[in-house]
Amino acid sequence: MAAKEESATLAGMTWPDKLARATGKPIRRVEDPRFLAGKACYVEDVEPEGVLHLAFVRSPYPSARLAGLNVEPARAYPGVVAVATADDVPEVGDVPTLPLPFARIPPFPPLARGRVAAIGDPIVAIVADSAGAARDAADLVEVDFDPQASVASAEAALEPGAPRVHPELESNLCYLLKKEGGDPDRAFAEADTVVQLRVDNPRVAPIPLEPRGVVAVPGDGSTVHRLTVWASSQAPHGLRTDLARALGLREHDVRVISPDVGGGFGCKSGATPEYIMAGYFALKLQRPMKWVATRSEDIQATTQGRDMLVQVDLAAKRDGTLTGLKLRNVANMGAHLHSATAVTPTFILNMASGCYRIPNVRVESLAVFTNTPPTGPYRGAGRPESVLAIERGIDRMAAELDMDPIELRRKNFIRPEDFPYKTATGAEYDSGNYAAALDEALHLVGYPELVKRREAARARGELMGIGVSTFVEPSGSPGGESGRVRVERDGKVTLITGSQLHVPLDQVRVVHGDTAEIDRGTGTFASRSMMLGGSAGVVAATRVEEKARRIAAHQLETTIDDVQPIEGGFAVAGAPARHVTWQEIARAAYAG
């Protein structure tokens, strides 16, 4: 299977269009014809010769002791190649999670050992020569469950005497983090007005169009990789690390390819029990292994989002000046920590005050275990919850003060002259003009006319409201990105920076999602792809351009200072007829 690639084609464009630089210009999407023609390649489409299929027996209970297992009927089912319980795979490690020093990390074996802590926990893995046979055999496994008391609400899980999700831990608290700036207690004691409210962020299932899936192929000795894995993943390098750790391999033993991905939204990162078991069986049986979740399985076993309760206390002067903020976030982690489960509730610590000048702030974030499927990053990963909390607080304060909620926002925005600005909890904002952005939004929506329509509707006895929200969102996340730019022998450029190099778009080839092609990477999430990955590509392209200019100067028999980039190559400044193309530069470079 080749690395994922896109070769730009510009059918229907004139030659000047082809030469036009792509940055900042509308261009026709180059990837669509392949998808429209049914030539995309998702994990489901990867079908190695001799592939076997995985299925899992899962828990129907949120908490239970496994009093007995009978897998013999499944072993005897036609087409079944292997059956495994936790006792059969003692060498397989736990599902890896990010090593956060403040978090309590309970065991998370890929197959449940002695007990289950959530509906959907895998108990038995079945390998068969078809997906249907594997699922049929899974239905034959007999499990004697001893149901135990369970808890689903994070609030209830914090109560004294609540059932413990993990008996080996002293409580259901995964961690408690606090940040404080200024003097919040004094601000509230001296405030003219205080409002309090509770903001519930209900749990959601991400449900990307393509469910999670994996194909694991053992090495045949022809490459350095002992295991090649195709997975629907937003972070192939992180998945490589996690699989190597769980399977006792070195990172360079594992190659991960993320082909076309049918949506992720945060739920497709890290190694899951299914991916780990696919890799294990591929190595043990020396046969390719495949697992693709059914839709119901994906909803049940893929990390879910949100499920946070935020208590908001907001203090202000009589004129609407905000003076204090207290937030207490209680986040439901579910039963287990996947790769980034514990990360999401940390974002509210820095984002609590949003776009506003609030000098006195206290924020607490509690991560709590419950007997529910694990949560994780989803569409903003803690940032939408932060925004909803402060914005609902602003609306409640405006109502309490009988003040226009838009004017209350304007009054308390961080002003352009305040930047760079550090919030009370230590977040650093580099720039912004929030009032101007709000004014533009109101202009685009036709706000005065919208207000007239609202009042007319209410006069008719109809219900109509206008919601306003502002937010500031950090882009990127810890962990860098790498970018590699390579000029091929024929002058074509590999990676993402044809515009930077003045190369026609149809001469640019993009390679991504393959750990064998790209040595280092973090992933596509947290609004980081272009900011970090794109920036890395630009830096690499700049270095390539510097090398190319030196070669061009030699070919043109001039100084480097007199060489300038043109579309498709380089020319002598003031004498555009004296030029060399990228193809000529590439031939000279490869010739030594």
3-class secondary structure for 65-110?
A: EEEEEECHHHHCCCCEEEEECHHHCCCCCCCCCCCCCCCCCCCCCC
**If you search the block for the tokens 């690639």, which residue do you land on?**
5
pLDDT (tens digit per residue) in 29-49: 878 888 999 999 999 999 999
On whether the CB atoms of residues 124 and 74 are closer than 8 A, the answer is yes
138 in any annotated domain:
yes
45 in any annotated domain:
no
How many Cβ atoms sit within 10 Å of the Cβ of residue 77? Answer: 19
DSSP-assigned beta bridge partners for residue 70: 142
Rounded Cα–Cα distance for residues 369 and 175 (Å):
10
Confidence of residue 502 (pLDDT cuts 50, 70, 90): low
60 and 102 part of one domain: yes
What average pLDDT is seen over the chain? 89
Buried-state track 321-355, b at ≥16 Cβ within 10 A, e below 16: bbbbbbbbbbbbbbbbbbbbbbbbbbbbbbbbbbb
For the cut 50, the answer to whether the pLDDT of residue 497 exceeds it is no
H helix or E strand, kind and range, residue 34? helix 32-36
Q: Provide mean pLDDT across the span 510-516.
A: 82
149 and 285 part of one domain: yes
430 and 565 part of one domain: no
For the cut 70, the answer to whether the pLDDT of residue 2 exceeds it is no
pLDDT greater at residue 565 or residue 79: 79
In the listed set 451, 473, 495, which residue is the last one of a domain according to the structure? Answer: 473
pLDDT at 6: 31
pLDDT at 9: 29
Gyration radius of the chain's alpha carbons: 28
456 and 514 part of one domain: no
Confidence of residue 527 (pLDDT cuts 50, 70, 90): low
DSSP-assigned beta bridge partners for residue 204: 305
529 and 543 part of one domain: yes
* Contacts of residue 75, Cβ cutoff 8 Å, sequence gap at least 6: 83
Q: Tell me the three-class secondary structure of 400-441, residue by residue.
A: HHCCCHHHHHHHHECCHHHCCEECCCCCEECCCCHHHHHHHH
Boundaries of domain holding 533? 1-40+475-592
Rounded Cα–Cα distance for residues 581 and 504 (Å):
11
Q: Provide mean pLDDT across the span 268-285.
A: 96
**Number of domains composing the chain:** 2
Of 537, 526, 538, nearest to 384 (Cα)?
526
Rounded Cα–Cα distance for residues 198 and 543 (Å):
53
458 in any annotated domain:
yes
pLDDT at 478: 65
For the cut 70, the answer to whether the pLDDT of residue 525 exceeds it is no
98 and 108 part of one domain: yes
pLDDT (tens digit per residue) in 333-347: 999 999 999 999 998
How many Cβ atoms sit within 10 Å of the Cβ of residue 152? Answer: 15
End-to-end CA gap in the chain: 32
432 in any annotated domain:
yes
* φ, ψ for residue 83, nearest 5 deg: -135, 135
347 and 258 part of one domain: yes
Question: Rounded to two decimals, what is the model's pTM?
Answer: 0.87
pLDDT at 528: 65
Q: What is the CATH number of the domain that holds 485?
A: 3.30.365.10
Rounded Cα–Cα distance for residues 256 and 182 (Å):
48
137 and 223 part of one domain: yes
Angle, to 10 degrees, between the axis of helix 434-445 and the axis of helix 447-459?
60
Burial of 217 (0-12, 13-18, 19+ CB in 10 A): buried
In the listed set 450, 473, 496, which residue is the last one of a domain according to the structure? Answer: 473
For the cut 90, the answer to whether the pLDDT of residue 28 exceeds it is no
265 in any annotated domain:
yes
pLDDT (tens digit per residue) in 434-459: 999 999 999 999 999 999 999 999 99
501 in any annotated domain:
yes
Rounded Cα–Cα distance for residues 269 and 290 (Å):
18
For the cut 90, the answer to whether the pLDDT of residue 488 exceeds it is no
Q: Provide mean pLDDT across the span 414-430.
A: 95
pLDDT at 10: 28
449 and 520 part of one domain: no
pLDDT at 268: 86
Q: In the chain, what percentage of residues exceed pLDDT 70? A: 90
| CA dihedral of 41, 125, 128, 93, whole degrees rounded to 10 | 60
490 in any annotated domain:
yes
140 and 177 part of one domain: yes
∠ CA(276), CA(282), CA(284), 5° rounding? 100
In the chain, DSSP finds a helix count (H) and a strand count (E) of: 16, 24
In the listed set 448, 473, 498, which residue is the last one of a domain according to the structure? Answer: 473
399 and 543 part of one domain: no
Rounded Cα–Cα distance for residues 407 and 417 (Å):
19
What are the strands of the beta sheet with 64-70, ordered from one edge?
115-116, 64-70, 142-147
pLDDT greater at residue 508 or residue 50: 50
63 and 126 part of one domain: yes
1 in any annotated domain:
yes
